[in-house]
Amino acid sequence: MEILDLTASELAAKVQARELSARAVVDAHLGEIERRDARIGAFLTVDPERVRAEADAIQARVDAGEALPLAGVPVAIKDNISTEGIATTCASKILRGYVPPYDATVIQQVRAAGGIVIGKTNLDEFAMGASTETSAYHLTRNPWDLERSPGGSSGGSAAAVAAGFAPLSLGSDTGGSIRQPASLCGIVGFKPTYGRASRYGLVAFGSSLDQIGPFGNTVTDVARLAAATTGHDPLDSTSLQTPPIDLSQLEDGRLAGLRIAVPDEMLGDATEPGVRAVIEAVIARAIAAGATVDRVSIPSIKLGVTTYYIIAPAEASSNLGRFDGIRYGPRPDNAAAKGHIGLVEQAREHGFGPEVKTRIMIGTYALSAGYYDAYYLRAQQVRAVMRQEFEGIFHRYDVVLGPTSPCVAFRIGDLNDDPLAMKLLDACTIPANMGGFPAISLNGGFADGLPVGVQLMGPVLADEELLRIARALERELPDASRRAPRT
Ligand code: GLN
C-alpha cells in the first residue's frame, strides 16, 4: 500500500516496527503538498527542511527503542496554535511575521508522542468564520470540489487531511470550527470536553468556549491524537484535573441497546433535504443495529446562534485587546500615528480584517455599561438554560445525534455577502461549546456527491464513551472511510 493511503495508526505501527522510516513518511507527504497544495491552499507555512530534521530526530528515538504512539506521523497544525520558531499568524495581517518563543502544550504533547509538525494550516482570521474565507492570506478549497469551501474556521486543517497532505491535524473549536469543516470535507473531527485539552498556547478567541481537537480519516486515528493531546495542564487554569483520554476500550462500543436522542430542532426546514436524507439513513442503520432512537425537542437550540454571537464576540473583544501594535502587531510609525491612541488605532485599523473588526465592535457594545445586563448577562442566562436542557436529555439518553452542518460544502463566495446565513450554519454545533460537551463529526454519507457529517454529542467527560459510540457507528457506515479524489 502507498504511504499516503495508510491511516495514522498504521503509519505509526510501521515506523515503530522499522518497516518504514520517518523520513520516508514525511517525504511522501511533503511531495503531495508540493504537488497539490497550490490548488488546495491548506497551508500557510511549510518548512520542508525543518520537517525532515524533526523526522530524523523521531527516527533516532525509535531506533533507541522508545515506544511512540504517533511514531513518525505527520500532524498539520492550525495557525492559531503556537509553535516555537515557526510563524503563527492566525491568518491575520496583524500577526504577519510573528514567531512564538514557545510551543503550545498540545505541540509539546504531539512531539512527545513521536508526531511531526508538517506545517501550519489556514483558517478564518482569528478563527472567526465558517468558510476559511476571512483569512487575510488566501482561500482554501475543498478537496471534494475545488469550487467549494472546506468550511471553517479550521478549513486548512480539514482540507489537509482530506487532501492526503497529513493523516492527522489539530484545529480549534469555539462554535463548531472542528466539526463543521470535518463534515464538509468528509472526515472525522472531534471536540473534547471543555478543559480536557490544554489551551496553553492557543491564541484565545472565546476563552469559555475554545477547545483544541483532532481531525483524521478514522475515529481510531482521531482518538489516538486526542489521547496524546489531553490531560491536566497546570499552565491552563481551566484545564480539568482528569487523565488523558483513555483508548483502551475504543473497540468495545456497541449500538445495540444504545439510547439516542435526535432533536427536532436540528432536522427542520433550515436543514437541506439532502442532508436530512443522509441523517435519516444513518438513524435507520443505528436502529437496525439495535439502538433505540427517540425524536426529542430541545427548544434552546433555536437560541444558540443569537446567544453565541453575543458571548463569543464579547470574549473576543477582550482577548484581542493585546493586538495593539505595541505588544503584538507591527508598530506603526510613531510620528504619523500621532500619540499612543493614534498608534493603537492605526495598528488595529490596518491589521484586522472586516469580520474581526465587526466582532470586536459587537463584543465591546455588548459589554459596555448599560448594555451588559441586556446582552451579555442575558446571553449567559440562556447559556445556562441550554446546558440544563441538554443535561436533562443526557440523563435519559447516551448521545444526541443530528447533522453537524445544515448544508453540504457551499460554493466559495456564495455566503460571503450574507453574514447572517453564514452564522446560521453554526446552529447544530454551538450547543456543545455552550455546555462544554464533547462532540464528534464523522462522515454519514453523501448528498449530490458531497459529504454529509453526522454529529454525536455526549455529556461532560464522556469523551471515551462518545469515541466508542462513534467507532461503533463508523463500522455501520459504508461511506465513512471514503476518501476525496487525489487530483
Ligand atoms: N463559525 C463560528 C464563528 O464564526 C465558529 C468559529 C469557531 O469555532 N472558531 O464564530
Asked if residues 367 and 315 have their Cβ atoms less than 8 Å apart, the reply is: no
Please report the pLDDT score of residue 339 as a whole number: 85
Q: Whose CA is nearest to atom 10 of ligand 1?
A: 128
Tell whether pTM > 0.85. yes
Confidence at residue 333, expressed as pLDDT on a 0 to 100 scale: 76
Q: Compute the distance between CA of residue 249 and CA of residue 5 in angstroms, rounded to an integer.
A: 26
| Strand positions, DSSP E, 323-473 | 399-403, 439-447, 450-457
Name all residues whose Cβ lies below 6 A of ligand 1.
127-130, 153, 173-177, 205, 312, 426
Please tell me the predicted confidence (pLDDT) of residue 361.
97
Residue in 426, 434, 441, 455 to alter for ligand 1 test, most ligand atoms within 8 A of Cβ: 426
Atom of ligand 1 minimally distant from the CA of 422: 1
Instruction: Give 379 Cα–ligand 1 centroid separation in angstroms.
Output: 17
Check residue 335 and give its pLDDT: 59
Q: Whose grid coordinates read 523521531? A: 58
Question: Across the strands, what pairs with 45?
Answer: 120
Residue ID of nearest Cα to ligand 1 atom 5: 175
What does each C-alpha distance from 359 to 242, 302, 318, 431 come to in angstroms? 33, 21, 11, 20
Mean pLDDT per 10-residue interval, the chain, length 487 residues: 94 98 98 98 98 98 98 98 98 96 98 98 98 98 98 98 98 98 98 98 98 98 98 98 97 98 96 98 98 98 97 97 88 75 91 97 94 93 98 98 98 91 95 98 98 98 98 96 92
Indicate which atom in ligand 1 lies nearest the CA of residue 127: 9
**What local confidence, expressed as pLDDT, does residue 327 receive?**
86
* 112 conformational bin, left if phi > 0, alpha if psi -120 to 50, beta if neither: alpha
Q: 3-class SS at 454?
A: strand
Residue-level pLDDT at 199: 98
Q: How many angstroms is it from 150 CA to the middle of ligand 1?
A: 14
In sequence order, the 6+-apart residues with CB closer than 8 A to the CB of 19 are: none
Ligand 1: distance of its center to the CA of 157 in Å?
14
**Rg (the chain; Cα; Å):** 21
Strand arrangement of the beta sheet that strand 211-216 belongs to:
43-45, 116-121, 74-78, 168-173, 211-216, 188-191, 439-447, 450-457, 399-403, 259-263, 292-296
The reported pLDDT for the residue numbered 328 is 84
**CA distance linking residue 65 with residue 46, whole number of Å:** 29
Which pLDDT belongs to residue 308? 98
Q: Using an 8 Å Cβ cutoff, are 473 and 220 in contact?
A: no
| Ligand 1 nearest atom to the CA of residue 154, by list position | 9
Give pLDDT, residue 1.
66
Question: Given CA atoms 290, 462, 186, 272 in this order, what sign does their dihedral have?
Answer: positive
Mutate to test the pocket of ligand 1, among 78, 80, 128 (most ligand atoms within 8 A of CB): 128
Catalytic residues: 78, 153, 177
Ligand 1 nearest atom to the CA of residue 312, by list position: 10
The span from the first CA to the last CA of the chain, in angstroms, equals: 18
Which of 90, 121, 124 gets mutated to test ligand 1 (max ligand atoms within 8 A of its CB)? 124
Residue with cell 438554560: 385
CA–CA distances in Å: residue 226 to residues 106, 167, 181, 231: 10, 14, 18, 10
pLDDT of residue 211: 98
In angstroms, the CA 389 to CA 210 distance is 21
